[in-house]
Structure 1
Amino acid sequence: MLSPQVLSKGDQYTVLRPDRLTTTEGRQITHIPLAAVQEVRADGDTAVEIVLTDGVTRRLPGGNAYAASAFLTALTAALPEQRDPAGSALVTTEETGPVIKVWQVWVGALTLLAAFGGYVWWTGSAHGPGMGFAAFFAAPGVLLGGLACAGVYDSVRTRVTLRRRGITVAAARHHYPNGKRASYYKYTDTSGNEHTTGYGSGRSTQEIHIVYDPETPSTSVAVEPLYSTVVKHVFYVSVSLAVLALGLWGVLAPYL
């Protein structure tokens, strides 16, 4: 089964579904049934224009000529023989929740970077170059150590939950259509939905046992001896706390 074609430019993208086009721009999502599309044609090198059965046109911008050409070909082949003359009357639009735009992410990242640079400069100016040098490495250490501790906590909580209500199944190694072995395994939950897991990706076996949460079946871990789990998590906790402690020491040292 081929992956759905996507035509995108900036914050707008259009996905070709089996029975419709779904265009997302900001908080607005527009659904266009394929039966409402009369004709598809190129609009320049990087865009596609669709003509609805009532004559209304819509322009779908793309990032480059190759993507636009591939989308045009796929959409033309997907159009049904039977069309609905209602056209734009079949088009529906819905609003989603707040969407973080790309420029907002960049502004936030640059603001944090500027704040970090200002903090290092101020520490070096007020407490000497040595402390400024220490602050340069200490602040990222606090962030990395905190994230690592949060990750270990989430892993421990997941394993405790799965010990209480987990379901164990055999996950089979996935293979690509060309026969090449994938680095992940697939399993099916009791509802018949298929999921993937990266646990055991380094193993050569064709099957591993995994435990998944029946309430959130996509959450799973590989079955392993208890001592192995304990040793790994003790090591992760030790390293995470060490990084966090060193980072906090570097941040607080100028004030102690």
Structure 2
Amino acid sequence: MVRNQEGAGESELILRGRKANARFRGRDIVLERGDGRWRIPLTAVERVHVSGDQLRTAEIMLTPAGEPATVYRLECRSSAAVAAFAAAVEAALPERMDNSPRQNGADLVELLQNEESQPDPERSGIIRARLAVLYVLIVYLAGLAVLFAAGMGAGRIAGYAVGTVPLGWGIVFVWINCKGAYNLWVLRQRGITVVATFHRREYQRKAGSKNFYRFADTEGNSREYSELGRPVREENERIELSYDPQCTERMAPRLSKTIRTFKVLGFIFLALPLLGVGLFLVPGALIYALLF
């Protein structure tokens, strides 16, 4: 007999695989693949098995009905995420006898939405990031060809090659700081400060465990925030943050004076020097090759 625990699976748990994602919502599983979004009710699930190298594969086996069972496999980089997902689903499965007749679980699976009508924002971001890396690589190789054609010495070519590292990090750090400063300026002008309460914890492939906080805006809409913030009166379940009522994505937490000081010092003594060294070594070398 499969055991069932009361109240299991009330909060959503997400398992992000390499080619598909699965969202456990307590009473069902939403499977997101390249061919669409599929809803799998728990009544259609026989069990969830953890397998594969280093236990990083979750196998969602549907109930069989006199024929081989349908199995959905999700390969994830985090074995902890796979184990947590499998345990949560197993705990919420309906109670049934081992020898009781089963309905074919594949007949209960429902197509929710075609993937083409609403693409996965995470996958779209990955594609844009890869295209950006490709464009930067093309520009870098073109600059290297200009230096060779101009007959620059080995020292300047080496400086150009090495300078891409501080230039890249400098651009990233300066962009992050400038964007954060602009958001803070906007929030000071028209932001609304609220207290957000911890809602759920999500496992992500690169960031690992990530906490999500929920709050209600002035219009009664439920919104979420997923970055670090200053706890309210040392209560880790709640953070204080400001949001822009005119832009749903612009939110920022209240940070301590220590963190704000470190941010300013990092911008002055890390981001700006890296950017300056990178500009001198990379664009500076190209300008010298073209003008002199």
* TM-score over 0.5 (shorter chain): yes
1:131 Cα deviation (Å)? Answer: 0.7
Deviates more, 1:78-87 or 1:43-52: 78-87
Q: State the one-letter code of the partner of 2:228.
A: G
- The answer to whether the Cα contact below 8 Å between 1:30 and 1:92 also exists between their aligned partners in 2 is yes
SS in 2 for 1:39: strand
CA distance in 2, matches of 1:102, 1:194: 22
Share of identical aligned residues, percent? 20
Does structure 2 conserve the Cα–Cα contact (< 8 Å) formed by 1:21 and 1:33? Answer: yes
Matches within 5 A, 1:151-170: 151-169=176-194
Q: Which residue identity does 1:155 align to in structure 2?
A: G
* Stretch deviating more after TM superposition (128-137 or 90-99): 90-99
Q: Which has the higher contact order (CA 8 A, sep 6+)?
A: 2
Structure 2: give runs of 5+ residues left out of the alignment: 1-7, 97-101, 200-210
Q: CA deviation at 1:151?
A: 1.7
Partner residue of 2:33? 25
Give 1:127's aligned residue: 152
Q: How many residues align?
A: 243
Asked if the contact 1:7–1:60 (Cα under 8 Å) also holds between the matched residues in 2, the reply is no
Secondary structure in 1 matching 2:193:
strand
Residue 279 of structure 2 aligns to which amino acid in structure 1?
L
Q: Supply the AA of the counterpart residue of 2:40.
A: I
CA–CA distance in 1 between the matches of 2:229 and 2:20? 35
Structure 1 residues 192-224: Cα deviation after superposition (integer angstroms, max 9, x where no partner):
6564652447xx962786433344387124267
- 114-123 vs 212-221, which deviates more? 114-123
Match of 1:220 among 252, 255, 258: 252
Report if the CA contact (8 A) 1:152-1:237 is conserved: no
Corresponding residue for residue 77 of structure 1: 91
Q: Report the Cα offset of residue 152 of structure 1.
A: 2.4
Match of 1:212, SS state, is strand
SS of the residue 2:26 aligns to:
coil
Map Cα deviations across residues 117-146 of structure 1 (whole Å, 9 max, x no partner): 786587478412111221122223332222
Gaps (5+ residues) in structure 1?
A: 175-183
Deviation at 1:18, TM superposition (A): 0.9
Asked whether the 8 Å contact 2:212–2:224 carries over to 1, the reply is: no
Contact 2:13 2:24 in 1 (8 A): yes
Q: Relative to structure 1, is the Cα distance of residues 52 and 100 closer, same or farther in structure 2, using a 3 angstrom cutoff?
A: farther
Tell me whether 1:206 sits opposite 2:225 in the alignment.
no
Deviations 1:40-95 (A, max 9, x none): 37598763421267978421224499987775554343234699999625511422
Equivalent residue letter for 2:111: T
* Alpha-carbon distance change, 78 to 162 in structure 1, aligned in 2, over 3 angstroms: same
Residue number in structure 1 paired with 2:47 = 40
Q: SS at the partner of 1:146?
A: helix
Shift, 1:158, TM fit: 0.7
Contact 2:50 2:83 in 1 (8 A): no
TM-fit CA distance, 1:161: 1.1
Q: TM-score, normalization: structure 2? A: 0.57
Structure 1 residue 33: Cα displacement: 2.1
C-alpha distance 189-140 of structure 1, shift in aligned 2 (>3 A): same
Q: Is the 8 A contact 2:230 2:240 kept in 1?
A: no
The alpha-carbon distance between structure 1 residues 185 and 109, as it changes in their structure 2 partners (threshold 3 A), is closer
- With the length of structure 1 as denominator, give the TM-score of the two structures: 0.63
